[in-house]
Structure 1
Amino acid sequence: MSAALPLLQVSGLRKAFGGVQAVDGVDFALAPGEMLALIGPNGAGKSTTFNMVGGQLRPDAGAIRLAGVDIAGLPPRAIWRQGVGRTFQIAETFASLTVVENVQMALLSADRRLFSFWPRAQDHRRADALALLAQVGMQAQAQRPCSTLAYGDVKRVELAMALAHAPRLLLMDEPTAGMAPAERLALMALTRQLARERAMGVLFTEHSMDVVFAHADRVMVLARGRLLAQGTPQAIRDNAQVQQVYLGSGSMSGTAPAPVGMA
């Protein structure tokens, strides 16, 4: 971690649902260009933490500072305007539109023109959309409808859409869910490259330990709403407490089972 101001600084984050303390005093930081994985067993508080950073949930207490500005409690759209992009566990694209039109729609939104004059997506910043598709390896398929793509390619289109407003921070919720092993490693290698090139911080949740250990710069592990450990992938792999937490819920060298209930 650089001595400079972190891109993202989370401190004292708390959230309860009824009598259940889902997140209890979580602190962490993320530097520009860094890939930070958020992992933990079922019920650890991963999704709750992740959704508080993205604005889907309002914290009960704590601060979430993006480049020094507290964004805790802001709605998702306001957080997006602050320079936070997001991809979802189930990729969200417009199936009836072409690949390039999907990215053009994202550019229209970034330019605050999505609902002005009802513009045609195909006429808006086409060259910029194609450039984004080139960055994710999808330019050759620009004219194909998204409905005809393989799922791994849909995830690449979603990534291009998330990059349309040049985010400083990218949130990726289970980015490789539903993908074959080769596809998921390729997607995260691409994300890592883009993070470095753009000095873009990436916070991601992930159940595939092969992805986490291959591509995260640092890993933080939650258990029962609290931060159990954080460090390099190797330090986390060797951590006795982390190994104990994962016994019975997934291997630290493979893919954990799909989560159930509150995460």
Structure 2
Amino acid sequence: MTLLPGTAVPPPPPAALLRVENLSKRFGGLQAVDNVSFELAAGQMLALIGPNGAGKSTTFNLLNGQIAPDQGHIRLANIDLAGLSPREIGRQGVGRTFQTAAVFGSFSVLENIQIALLARDRRLFSFWRKAQGYRTDEAMDLLAQVGMQDSAGRLCGVLAYGDIKRVELAIALAGRPRLLLMDEPAAGMTAPERHALMALVRRLADERDMAILFTEHSLDVVFAHANSIVVLAQGRIIAAGTPGEIRTHEGVRSAYLGSTRV
């Protein structure tokens, strides 16, 4: 690249934390994921979108170790995660939240975080012996990061759904993830709730230098909060780029059944 005199040299793009290379998975006669490759840098948010049956969930399950790929590599920094178990992948710094929030409703908000800290520290936990008192300061700090410290003593079972999603996020953060996988994080939430949650995730990604990969059907959330977008259809990547590039991509419009607004 030739620069004119006095022109500032643009900063180099951030190095990739996650590299997905030629990832493929077949179930019988169905090629669910077909030669998928993309990169994600620390501090960035990448949205993986596509119509139903595009291969998003399978890709997520491959990244998380729920299923093993037929071929390809999943590199977190210099570690190949392909074929490792979910527990082994978690220990390498990969966290995950789910479309349906998973918390213990009969335990307090604080105890839910303490249980997550026990699991991170590989300490045995019994439902007959609650987690009360375990790393309370750290647990409260995690709740403060998601704005739930004032609800620490409340049972999770009585919380509003948006607050439950914040608790689930704190649970994921307890594992100190470098990469956080978020499966439909805004599902079941109102528009203000989902934008507030994703703005919180954006802030945490910046503060923690944490990479975020998320799937989401609410395209207003995708275009408002993602740094980059990968679009799948029938297991293949049909487009990848910035929100502005994806919004005007004709192939993406076609994949979404000719929608004039994506």
TM-score (norm 2): 0.92
Say whether the 8 Å CA contact 2:114–2:134 is kept in structure 1.
yes
Report deviation, 1:122: 1.0
Say whether the 8 Å CA contact 2:111–2:130 is kept in structure 1.
no
Report deviation, 1:247: 2.0
Say whether the 8 Å CA contact 2:46–2:228 is kept in structure 1.
yes
Corresponding residue for residue 151 of structure 1: 161
Q: How does 1:1-20 map to 2 (within 5 A)?
A: 3=13, 5-20=15-30
- Give the counterpart of 2:243 among 233, 257, 261: 233
Corresponding residue for residue 53 of structure 1: 63
Q: How does 1:150-229 map to 2 (within 5 A)?
A: 150-229=160-239
Report deviation, 1:119: 5.5
Say whether the 8 Å CA contact 1:105–1:114 is kept in structure 2.
no
Aligned pair count reads: 252
The amino acid of 2:219's aligned partner reads M
Give the secondary-structure state (helix, strand or coil) at the position aligned to 1:121. Answer: coil
Structure 2: give runs of 5+ residues left out of the alignment.
1-10
Corresponding residue for residue 42 of structure 2: 32
Q: How does 1:41-190 map to 2 (within 5 A)?
A: 41-115=51-125, 120-190=130-200
Report deviation, 1:121: 0.8
What CA distance in whole angstroms lies between the structure 1 residues aligned with 2:33 and 2:155? 41
Give the secondary-structure state (helix, strand or coil) at the position aligned to 1:104. Answer: helix
Say whether the 8 Å CA contact 2:17–2:211 is kept in structure 1.
yes
What CA distance in whole angstroms lies between the structure 1 residues aligned with 2:89 and 2:212? 15
What CA distance in whole angstroms lies between the structure 2 residues aligned with 1:251 and 1:29? 28
User: Any idea what the Cα deviations from partners look like across 1:126-168, whole Å, max 9, x if unmatched?
Assistant: 1111110001000011100000000000000000000002100
What CA distance in whole angstroms lies between the structure 1 residues aligned with 2:125 and 2:151? 27
Corresponding residue for residue 261 of structure 1: none
**Aligned-residue CA RMSD (Å):** 1.7
Identity %: 63
Structure 1: give runs of 5+ residues left out of the alignment.
254-263
- Which structure would you say has the larger Rg? 2
Corresponding residue for residue 8 of structure 2: none
What CA distance in whole angstroms lies between the structure 2 residues aligned with 1:245 and 1:114? 47
Say whether the 8 Å CA contact 2:23–2:71 is kept in structure 1.
yes
Give the secondary-structure state (helix, strand or coil) at the position aligned to 1:85. Answer: strand
Report deviation, 1:80: 0.4
Say whether the 8 Å CA contact 1:219–1:230 is kept in structure 2.
yes
Taking a change above 3 Å as real, the CA distance of residues 148 and 26 of structure 1, as seen in their structure-2 partners, is same
Say whether the 8 Å CA contact 1:209–1:252 is kept in structure 2.
no
TM-score (norm 1): 0.92
